[in-house]
Amino acid sequence: MVIEKGKKKKIYTGLKRSTRIIRNLTLIIPAAILILMIIVALFADLGWIGLPDIGLAPQDPNATHPRDKLLPPSFMEGGKSDYFLGTDRLGRDLFSRVIYGARVSLSVSLIVIFITALIGTILGILSGYKGGRADAFIMRVTDVALSFPGLLLAMLLWVAIGPGYWTVVLALSVLGWAGYARMIRGESLRIRESDFVAQAQVVGATTWRVMFKHIFPNIVNSLIVIMTLQIGMMILAEAALSFLGLGITAPTASWGSIVADGRTELDRAWWISAFPGICIGLVVMAGNFLGDWIRDKLDPRLRQL
Amino acid sequence: MKRWFLVPLFLLLAAVMVVTSCGGDETTPATTTPTTTQPTTTEPTTTEPTTTEPTPTVTTPEPIVPTGTLTAVTADFGFASTDPIFFESLWGWSWSDSLLRWDENNNFIPGVAYDWNFDEATCTWTFYITEGIKFHNGEDLTAEDVKFSVDRFGADPPWISLNPWSQYISYAYNKADSIVVDDYTYQFVAEYPEACQQVVFAWTRILPKDYFDEVGQDGFRAFPIGSGPWKFKELIPNTSITLEANADYWRPDEIPYYQYYVELMVPEQATRINMLRTGECDIALGVDYDRIPELRSQGYATVNAGVAGTSSISFQGTWFPSAGATGNINVRKAMSYALDRQEIADTWYDGFAKPGGQWYMVEGCFGWTDELTPDPYDPGLATQLLEAAGYPDAFDDPVIHIYTTAAGQDYHLLLISYWEAIGLQVQLEIVDSTISTAYIFHNFAGRIEETDPNVGWIFSWTYNSYFNSTYHCANLYTSRGIHGSGNDPVADAMYNDVTHTADIEEADRLFAEFQLYVKTLYINIGIVEFDILTVYNPATVGDWTGRNWVSYQDALNGIKHPGQ
Amino acid sequence: MTRFIIVRILQAIVALIGITILVFFLVRVSGDPMALIASPNLSEEQYQKIKESLGLDKSWGEQFWIYIKEMTRGNLGESLIREKPVTTMIGESLPNTLKMTVPSFVLSMLLAFFLGIMAATYRDSFWDNGVKFLAVLGQALPGFWVAIMAVLIFSVYLEWLPVAGMSTPAHYVLPVLTMVFFMLPGMMRLVRSSMLDVLDSEYIKLARIKGLPERVVIWKHALRNALITPLTIIGMLLPTLVVGAVISEQIFNWPGMGSMILRATFERDFPVVQAITVLVAIMVLGVNLLVDILYAYIDPQIRYQRS
Amino acid sequence: MSNIVLQVEDLHTSFFTRAGEVKAVDGVSFFVREGETFGIVGESGCGKSVTGLSILRLLPEPSGQVTKGKIILEGKNLLELSKKTMRAYRGKMISMILQDPMTSLNPVYTIGDQISESVRLHQDLPENMVEGEVISALRLLRIPDPEVRTREYPFQLSGGMRQRVVGAIAMSCRPRLLIADEPTTALDATIQAQYLALFEDIQVKTNVAIIFITHDFGVISRICDRVGVMYAGKILETAPTRDIFKAPKHPYTAALISSVPQLDKKDEKLFSIEGQPPSLLHLPPGCRFQPRCTVAMDICKEQEPPEVKLDENHSVSCWRVK
């Protein structure tokens, strides 16, 4: 837009009603999807509050029913009402597996996002605020981490510590912080120059105090945006690892591993891959939309993220 | 940036995902049980009568002219060795000849040796070698080569350390001397009379001694030659192996019909099936049973190997106190009664199997008796047995471990669900192939130790069977075996009797008795005996007349062109 | 300029040593590598033999020194399973991988720049919406799923293209397109937004004020500036490239590095995984270095300031 | 009286956004004579820059469009020219200096490259004379060491020097009309003064007509011969600079002038205008300044005031002025 900045805002002051509704839908739908998925993950069963027999999942996700294998979803011809989304090759209830899969997929991505955001933020602020050699060093490491294929590291870890839930978490975390570090550094650099930081320095605040009392609150917005956008990325990454057999160990279901299980059956039992695949797509989209929405709301400058 | 337009877009996308997936469904009829269940099996016919005429030389009555290329796809080249000394190198069977062979009725028939006899007084096997057999490099196959090959086959580790057959054989290699009498006569002096030793002679592939000496073991493995119907052409690791027909093969009626045989390694089953459908391959190996009805209905044919395969589980180190729950025979028995073998045969194997499958024992094989019946499905009895064993309270760690590689995951999850149904706690351990091999074979380095991590663990074994499995059974059931399962003196003694008789029929009877006894030990539980099916495209591949009861590789030269 | 490059090269070497140390000790910190390599059932004699042959009987420092020394000589160790030097294995598979990745990379870049620039230049047009659609598609659909679907549709049902292998040019179509699907959307999106920023800039306005024809404005004034951002993150495309290669090789049965390392992983062929990791690290650093130099070439500010 | 170079008549420029039509320029008329500087002054967002871009026909496409009016440059209506001819006019006949010297030069090309581009395009010169022309353009803007500067990149120059380079680019083909869009806003006060002096100098040397867009009445008083006060897309008052300072007729003009700090009236409080300019999407009824006007009458809320010509050079749109 060529019109000056001040004017641009005014153009939108009188939004049409339909536009407003659509704008809100881009918040409501993704948020609803994410909340729904989290509820599903939490209430797959209530074992964690001592009620293992109550839950959303109608069946044990790992119980096999070989005589009912590869049944289509119940709403299709040939489906059985016991299996809402059909069954896989061992006759396991796909619906229950997808519900339990939400637990693994979401928990992996949330844990990874938490870990990477924490490390990335600390390093980013340190780098941006301290500057100088620390900055140069951290940024070089970040550059390498950003361009190092995480898949290789996942393989290395798989070999070194064996497969498992925490291997996946670790594999996704080891390099994941770099994106945060780079972005947070840029933000910190900007904030470092502002008056209140100078003021704090003048009155003798310690480096750590300045970093976390003054700089951190000013980057929280950007941080939230990236963290939201990362939900989809992490789910996809976990799915890719599972596809290659480097993911969560069987029989535990994650969305990625169910898609991977179903890939050899795609030509005759599309539902195995399709439903967890749709879940992945939904959550990825929801995360991206929500991230975009929050970004537009909080910090439109971050368009390029 | 306004993204509202992406909402309907995503819905569209989701629809596309479903629709494209459905697309697959339309063309594939939902697992219809084939009404035309006539397996396109070609009954193996004996191509060579057991000639006992004196000194036949190679004659050439109208030889086959090999043409065209036969392409097969397989999941894995496995150990990928070109050295026929390795059990895993089934390819080696294609380019070498063995000293003896066997027919589909489990009789030993001539191989490179056109005649042989055993003199019980001197404990000597004498082999008469067919004259005029030439290796692929044009050199004659003589008794020197036979001696070299037999000696190498039974030699001690470490230089052949990865061969589990020779591993056992080298412990119990019943050999006193190995003599070249003349160019075409070879004698093997045994320490005691053993009719079953013919198995070893049938396994021994004859290698060209001079060539081997000249290029060394590595050179030989890089470019192996033999006297077989196929010549080794090229091996690209993890990619492809190419064989070329030996148009001058000394058995003219066994010259391959195809000029080239190409085997591609394609790990993904879906890809293999797709390649079959697009005509990129003629034969697809390693196709799951529950896909075969569908493929048949689409016009693809299957050929059934003459010898079935078995699937069983074995317990390791059960006699050690650290074995845990599996140390108790009632627990092991319960695990057997918990399995609904018929259901497994009907579902996992889609009806191409039947209950049975004790370690390498298939109907009609050496040592077979009809009394060797599988345990029935009886979860009630299984539960009682568990109670008798005091499971789970009587055990510090009631969790039972069963291990497999990632490829076997689903099948094991199926087995586990039966055991969990009667209250057993079973943990699946996915290990990589190295660890798995190490556990199963104890790295070919001897017995299981009490401290080994796999003590009390279970391995499952799904393999093609053989006409005579005495040596395999030694490895599993006797205390000298390498699978870490056997530790029973009675079984050892009975096995000793089997291998210390000069009469093959007597050995057969003794082996059957041995089988009935070891079954009661519950260190191996048979699950099913299954058909070994190879899927091929009848539009591009004709009849299979080869020795398919030995192995797929031995059947290759008998595959005809369509309409041939 | 020269000094800048030298500093970068030195930094890259330091980083490489860092990564090598990391990889080297990662295995050792997580436990005795012998426990990973050798089966628990080896005889004492065999165990010692393997240990010696791998040099594991020496101290960590000594081992590391030997490792580095051998590496500089081009010896990356020997596969435990295949009993072959890793370099030989790489020599067998790398050309195949390059045959797939290089065309994919070039195609992706050309398409990304062409489509991204078109989308930005003709904003909100058909082009632009198409590009945005592709970007969303690429973001939300798992690449492997798309590849499998492509095989089902184009090879199995339509029978236009072969399923697997690499013997004819037709065999390259699906694997290359799969890789392009992995790489294109992100890059295209970046080129587009970078181009948009540039087109919104004052100097583009000035160029138009000068009366320059639109093609000169776009291809001379805008492009070179718009290239800077995507080029700096071309290095970040490597992870995508590797994931894409491993997955496509797996799906299309391509006998390249991706299949090799995946196999090695499942076989716990530690020296192979370790060697390839270090090798890729070298590649990563090399690409970053190249990007830095390229960046300096495009952006005169860097070229001049650092010299 | 010298010739009129540019005559703008009843110019309407709108932006068509999703929210509706934004009338950025809503009926603007003015003219500039040869060798004269006409100032357009107003708060940010009032449409000054859009007026400039409309003249150059460089509105962002497809949202920005001239919907009505005439822009006559030396007898030719620019709005009727083909795209190609218009392009030939840009740089050669009309040129423009943008606000921010830090961003208006392309960072990846040398100064010489960026100036010579214009020269080559618009002047049919043999190649060996291009550099001379470039250097003379730099000299015109009093840039020291022009031979060295041609080989330098923008980032190697200071802000003031960059703005001179922008000026040199604009003047390289000796245009008839120069539009300067807040060229001094981003500069330090001392450099600003130098730069303004430069404008006078250039005008003397080349007799160029200048449209000077600014929000700063101080700058206007320094450089402009005549001035138009623009508010929410419309010029409310046009007058010779001297007259407008002496006797502003429009309340908005008066308010603007009283908000300029003046050195000789130190103790007086600075005046500021209450409220915000209106949204261009939803203009108030009647006079557009009426919601903020301290002297508004009833009629101001109902009808738009007509333009009243007080004399040849002074016109104003206000109900109070009769």
C268 close to B (CB below 8 A) = yes
* Domain count across chain C: 1
Residues 197-226 of chain C with CB under 8 A from chain D are 201-203, 205-213, 216, 221, 224-225
Q: Is the pLDDT of residue A297 over 80?
A: no
Q: How confident is the model at residue C101 (pLDDT cuts 50, 70, 90)?
A: confident
Q: Sort out which chain C residues have CB atoms less than 8 A from B482's CB and list them.
A: none
Query: Residue A277: which of B17, B290, B291 has the nearest Cβ?
Result: B17
Per-residue model confidence as pLDDT tens digits over B322-363: 888 999 999 999 999 999 999 999 999 999 999 999 999 998
Q: Which of A1-15, B225-239, C116-130 has the lowest mean pLDDT?
A: A1-15
- Cut 0.80: pTM above it: no
Q: CB–CB of A264/B268 below 8 Å?
A: yes
Q: Tell me whether residue C3 is in a domain.
A: no
Q: How confident is the model at residue A7 (pLDDT cuts 50, 70, 90)?
A: very low
- pLDDT score of B185: 95
Q: What proportion of chain B, given as a percentage, has pLDDT over 90? A: 43
Interface with D, mutate which of C200, C209, C219, C299 (most D CBs under 10 A): C209
Q: Is the pLDDT of residue B145 over 90?
A: yes
B143 close to C (CB below 8 A) = no
Distance CA B148, CA D119 (A): 91
- pLDDT score of B208: 94
Q: CB–CB of B535/B513 below 8 Å?
A: no
Burial D26-61 (b: 16+ CB within 10 A, else e): bbbbbbbbbbbbbbbbbbebbbbbbbbbbbbbbbbe
Contact partners of A by the rule of 3+ C-beta pairs under 8 A?
A: B, C, D
Instruction: Supply the CATH number for residue C99's domain.
Output: 1.10.3720.10
User: In chain C, whose CA is at the least distance from the CA of D62?
Assistant: C123
**For B139-147, what is the mean pLDDT?**
94
Q: List beta partners, residue D41.
A: D214, D229
Q: Say yes or no for a CB contact (<8 Å) between D90 and C299.
A: no
Q: Which of B238-252, B539-553, C158-172 has the lowest mean pLDDT?
A: C158-172
- pLDDT score of B286: 87
* Beta-sheet pairing, D234-240 with D315-317: antiparallel
- pLDDT score of B28: 33
Q: Which helix (H) or strand (E) holds D68?
A: strand D64-73
Per-residue model confidence as pLDDT tens digits over C216-249: 888 888 888 887 777 777 777 778 888 888 888 8
Amino acid at D300: C
- pLDDT score of C307: 38
Name which of A225, A194, A237, A193 is nearest A304 in CA terms.
A225
D166 close to C (CB below 8 A) = yes
- pLDDT score of B18: 39
C90 close to B (CB below 8 A) = no
Average pLDDT, chain B: 82
**3-state SS string for chain C:** CHHHHHHHHHHHHHHHHHHHHHHHHHHHHCCCHHHHHCCCCCCHHHHHHHHHHCCCCCCHHHHHHHHHHHHHCCCCCECCCCCCEHHHHHHHHHHHHHHHHHHHHHHHHHHHHHHHHHHHHCCCCHHHHHHHHHHHHHHHCCHHHHHHHHHHHHHHHCCCCCCCCCCCCHHHHHHHHHHHHHHHHHHHHHHHHHHHHHHCCHHHHHHHHCCCCHHHHHHHHHHHHHHHHHHHCHHHHHHHHHHHHHHHHHHCCCCCHHHHHHHHHHCCCHHHHHHHHHHHHHHHHHHHHHHHHHHHHHCHHHHHHCC
Cα atoms in the 13 Å half-sphere on the side-chain side of B557: 28
Amino acid at A236: L
D62 close to A (CB below 8 A) = no
Q: Which of A182-196, B20-34, B311-325, C252-266 has the lowest mean pLDDT?
A: B20-34
CATH of range D4-93+175-263+270-316; options 3.40.50.300, 3.40.50.620, 1.10.10.10, 3.30.565.10: 3.40.50.300
Q: CB–CB of D40/D220 below 8 Å?
A: no
Q: Is the pLDDT of residue B55 over 60?
A: no
- pLDDT score of D265: 53
Q: Sort out which chain B residues have CB atoms less than 8 A from C157's CB and list them.
A: 23, 27
**For A66-71, what is the mean pLDDT?**
84
User: In chain C, whose CA is at the least distance from the CA of D101?
Assistant: C202
Q: List beta partners, residue B177.
A: B189
Average pLDDT, chain A: 79
Q: Say yes or no for a CB contact (<8 Å) between D107 and C212.
A: no
Q: CB–CB of A142/A182 below 8 Å?
A: yes
Q: Say yes or no for a CB contact (<8 Å) between A266 and B270.
A: yes
**ipTM for the assembly:** 0.71
Q: List beta partners, residue B198.
A: none
Interface with C, mutate which of D104, D121, D171, D179 (most C CBs under 10 A): D104
Q: Is the pLDDT of residue B11 over 70?
A: no
Q: What are phi and psi of B304, to 5 degrees?
A: -100, 130
Q: What are phi and psi of B41, to 5 degrees?
A: -70, 130
Distance CA D231, CA D304 (A): 13
User: In chain C, whose CA is at the least distance from the CA of A243?
Assistant: C144
* Beta-sheet pairing, B301-304 with B100-102: unpaired
Other CB atoms closer than 10 Å to residue D220's CB: what's the count?
Answer: 24
Ramachandran class of B442: left when φ > 0, alpha when ψ lies in -120 to 50, beta otherwise: left
> Which domain does C271 fall in, by range?
86-306
pLDDT in tens, chain D (322 residues): 468 888 888 889 888 877 778 888 888 888 898 888 998 988 877 888 888 888 888 887 767 888 888 888 888 888 888 888 888 888 888 888 887 777 788 888 888 888 888 888 888 778 888 888 888 888 888 888 888 888 888 888 888 888 888 888 888 888 888 888 888 777 777 888 888 888 888 888 888 889 999 888 888 888 888 999 888 888 888 888 888 888 888 888 888 887 766 655 555 555 667 777 777 777 788 888 888 888 888 888 888 888 888 888 888 888 887 6
Q: Tell me whether residue C7 is in a domain.
A: no
A29 Cβ contact partners less than 8 Å away, ≥ 6 residues apart: A286, A289, B7
**For B10-33, what is the mean pLDDT?**
37
Distance CA A199, CA A213 (A): 13
- Maximum mean pLDDT: which of A18-32, A44-58, B239-253, D1-15: B239-253
Q: Is the pLDDT of residue C80 over 70?
A: no
Q: Say yes or no for a CB contact (<8 Å) between C299 and D107.
A: yes
Domains of chain A by start residue, with CATH: 66-302 (1.10.3720.10)
Q: Tell me whether residue C183 is in a domain.
A: yes
Check whether the bond before B158 is cis (ω within 30° of 0).
yes
Higher pLDDT, A50 or B255: B255
Q: How confident is the model at residue B1 (pLDDT cuts 50, 70, 90)?
A: very low
Query: Residue C211: which of D91, D105, D155 has the nearest Cβ?
Result: D91
CATH 3.50.30.10 is right for the domain spanning B309-466+522-530 = no
- pLDDT score of B9: 43
Domain map of chain D by residue range?
4-93+175-263+270-316, 108-174
